[in-house]
Amino acid sequence: MKPNSTILALLFLAVGWCARAQNNNLCQGHYYQEAEAAEILKETQNRIAKKKEWENYKTVIQRGIRSGAELDPMPEKTPLNVIRKDLRNYGLYTVENIAFESRPGVLVTGSLYAPTSSKGKLAGILSPHGHWSKPDDYGRYREDVQRRAATLAMMGAYVFAYDMVGYGEMGDHGWIHRHPKTLKLQLWNSIRAVDFLSTLENIDKKRIGITGASGGGTQSFLLAAIDPRIAVSVPTVMVSAHFFGGCIGESGMPIHKSDIHQTNNVEIASCFAPNPQMIISDGDDWTKNNPEVEYPFMRHIYGLYGKKGNVAHVHLPDEAHDYGINKRLAMYPFMAKHLKLDLKIVRDDNGNITEEKVVIEPYDKFRMFNDSNPLPLHIVKSNDGVTW
């Protein structure tokens, strides 16, 4: 399809904004000054006044993500070869260790949370984690990840908390996160995680959501932008016009810029319109301008579909970069509303949402492989062993 004059104007404008980096298609970190980023969004908003104009531009953005991540065309989906182990029952929910192969021999390890009592079909929620690196405060084993996964499970959803590339058990076996192709494999692993959720008994494939903070927030809006199976998205402390991610798994490949386009994470998150989406921001990181800059742009895009009510924003000006309790308390009702979950089971006698029934597990509980259950011989133990 040949782009119309409005889209061409947008593309030329976008290329112009990146003139300072003509020989480098990577847009990383604090790529823009805050005022500059706000002006770019304003210019884009002024030029896109109709849904068709946005749909055309969205196609360019989505193609840029897939192409920049080397996922265009999408690779063949090989057998998942799912392994399930060590089911634990904590009364209102269960936790089970999971591994599957996203590519031949490439394991994705994670934890599957599920309600112990449910009626009918279950929603599914992906829970990608951020890139915290302290061994005692790490990945999907963090207390905040366990609390939100278990609480959402009690509300009536399958929740899959999975390791990002180079983290968790596969990190123990030799994988690293700082690798040039991490973004490609991480996004592919998330696509295959949707495939895994889709294999579960009683899953409602039309009710699949995703939420994560920091790098998990980036993973949330990237997957939501390109995978039409995602129905609800809550990217937390990450949607920013001027900041493009501080990690190689977020901006280490040219997903924001090509020879014909330049985009940013706000436009990428807006590609999910008109589906339900909540962004959560704080006053101490690159999301501090969300109330005045990013959220109004997203409301404009949702308004083109007549769906402004489907995008929500919670700003916590006195909080910092995390997925803390107040952020989780904002997310639970949104997920409950749009994925048809039951909040009553996690309310206390005063009607307040509580996480007090969550059991925090130690790292050893999540381990899939050990001396009595060794890693299969065909499993790839380093990033460079992936075959596409």
The answer as to whether 131 is a domain residue is yes
Residues 6+ apart with CB under 8 A from 100: 80, 81, 82, 83, 107, 108, 192, 196
Q: What is the 3-state secondary structure (H, E, C) of 69-117?
A: CCCCCCCCCCCCCCEEEEEEECCCEEEEEEEEEEECCEEEEEEEEEECC
The answer as to whether 376 is a domain residue is no
pLDDT at 131: 85
Q: At what angle do helices 51-68 and 5-17 cross, to 10 degrees?
A: 50
Tell me, what CATH number does 187's domain have?
A: 3.40.50.1820
Residues 6+ apart with CB under 8 A from 72: 63, 66
Beta bridge partners of 84: 98
The answer as to whether 381 is a domain residue is no
Q: What is the pTM of this model?
A: 0.93
In terms of residues, how long is the chain?
388
pLDDT at 4: 43
Here the tokens at position 89 are 């029952």
The answer as to whether 48 is a domain residue is no
The answer as to whether 77 is a domain residue is no
Q: How far from the centroid of its chain's Cα atoms is residue 51's Cα?
A: 25
Query: By residue range, what is the domain housing residue 210?
Result: 83-364
Q: What is the mean pLDDT of each run of 10 residues along the chain (388 residues)?
A: 38 37 78 98 97 98 98 97 98 98 97 93 97 78 96 98 93 92 98 98 97 97 98 98 95 96 98 98 98 98 98 98 97 98 97 98 92 92 95
The answer as to whether 191 is a domain residue is yes
Cα separation of 353 and 345, whole Å? 9
Here the tokens at position 281 are 């921001």
Cα separation of 334 and 338, whole Å? 6
The answer as to whether 34 is a domain residue is no
Count CB neighbours of 275 within 10 A.
19
How many domains does the structure of the chain reveal? 1
The answer as to whether 28 is a domain residue is no
pLDDT at 2: 36
pLDDT at 136: 67
Residues 6+ apart with CB under 8 A from 304: 48, 49, 50, 51, 54, 273
